[in-house]
Amino acid sequence: MTDALKVYGPVAAGLLILLIITMRFIAPPPPMEIRFAAGGVDGQYYALAEQYAEALGAHGIEVEVLETAGTVENFALLKAGDADVALLQGGIASDEDREGLLSLGGMFAEPFWVFARADLVTEDTMDFGNLKSARIAAGAEGSGTHEMTERVQSEWGGTWEPIVPLSGSTAATALLAGEVDAAVFTASVETGYVQTLLTAPGVSLIGMRRAVGLSMRDDALAPLVLFDGVVDMDRDIPSDDVQLISAIAQLGVDEKLHPALQSVLLEAAESIHNGGTILSRANSFPDATRTDLVLSDEARRYYRNGPTFLRRYFSFGWANFLERAWVFLIPLLALLIPLVQMAPPVYRWRIRRKIYVWYNDLHELERRGFDAKDEKERRSVLSDIQAMQHEVGQVDVPVSYNDELYHLRSHINFVEALIARQAVKTGTS
């Protein structure tokens, strides 16, 4: 066993060291810490980022959730390398934003809500394009809602009044107080101020007549219908179907983010975003087609095939290790075959060497015995031969090599007998 370890041990250790070095520097493991740019701590993006942090934490991945001012800052953090992943409002990415960033797909629809004072619109003029002369609260400059509003106004064309930089509940309060004529939000239907405005007297929800046309011009926008009575059946809110446009929030990543992390993010996205709402049916998201950033190669593979074969049966850590090791299996086997083929001859040589090494000494003792000048010298040789026989008896070899060991011992006895006969002949003569 000891000899086998001496032969095969170095081979196994060498292969292990080679594998570790190769996987460390040529196929490095994914980092176990990522930075997630979210939004304000009281916003939907931040809450979703915390859900991602919890999901990835189950795999031992630590997620640092970054509080930000919203999508525009999220883009900036990704571009600067200060964040690895971010939730991004769709429909506002510029050509510059697309450089160095990738998308993992659209995650959920964010309706572009447009509310206006009811006295400013009639049934015939209830359309976003009729608000060009209105004072519209649409978020602070640099916010996703502000950018989205400017984008839609630009697509619509014409001259618009400057945007009033109010957002969220502040903008909703200003609208109810008559301080602005309209307010725009990009938010979930469950958001408190959206629910308030949907049911508030004196406020009307404005439709987006060109929603389908806008969505055809930008993959990150999607038409959306708020169906009659879906908000409140008892009070018939809304009282008719309302055509809306929605921005598809996407999961953006740095193009250098490890594919294994992209895959585990997509796993989490499926569990977080595939539920239904009053605006979308279950399993509508994640969506590979609704994004204004280039879909990553890993996301394309995931949407086509789902989790990898190994990931379906192993934990994230083990699956990732095996997938990385698999890449080098063929070259390692190519190296292993000659090493394994070489090991048995080396092993046999090491075992037989423990036996054959005695033959040099035995030959020398035989020569000394025949050349001995007197009985005392010859008896000294015989004593050395007996000592050799004793030492050889202590040699440990595998059972399959015992025949060679006993051949050696019989040869020692043979030499001892020759020298003893030589002593008798010398004494007789």
C-beta neighbour count of 57 within 10 angstroms:
11
Q: What is residue 10's predicted lDDT score, i.e. its pLDDT?
A: 67
Instruction: Provide mean pLDDT across the span 223-243.
Output: 87
C-beta neighbour count of 153 within 10 angstroms:
21
The more confident residue out of 324 and 142 is 142
The more confident residue out of 182 and 388 is 182
- As beta bridge partners, residue 191 has none
Q: What is residue 2's predicted lDDT score, i.e. its pLDDT?
A: 58
Q: What is residue 82's predicted lDDT score, i.e. its pLDDT?
A: 95
The more confident residue out of 420 and 116 is 116
Instruction: Provide mean pLDDT across the span 275-301.
Output: 86
pLDDT tens-digit series, residues 63-107: 999 999 888 899 999 999 999 999 998 888 888 888 899 999 999
Instruction: Provide mean pLDDT across the span 394-417.
Output: 85
Query: Which parts of 177-328 fold into alpha helices (H)?
Result: 192-199, 211-217, 259-273, 297-305, 309-313, 316-327
Q: What is residue 127's predicted lDDT score, i.e. its pLDDT?
A: 83
Separation between Cα atoms, residue 8 and residue 254, nearest integer Å = 45
Strands (E), 130-209: 136-137, 182-186, 203-205
Mean pLDDT over all residues of the chain?
A: 84
| pLDDT confidence bin for 171, thresholds 50/70/90 | very high
- Which residues in the chain are classed under CATH 3.40.190.290? 27-327
Q: How large a percentage of the chain has pLDDT more than 70?
A: 85
Confidence check: pLDDT of 318 > 70: no
- Is 250:106 a contact under the CB 8 Å cutoff? yes
The CATH number that domain 27-327 falls under is: 3.40.190.290
| pLDDT confidence bin for 25, thresholds 50/70/90 | low
Tokens (6 digits) for 190? 């469950």
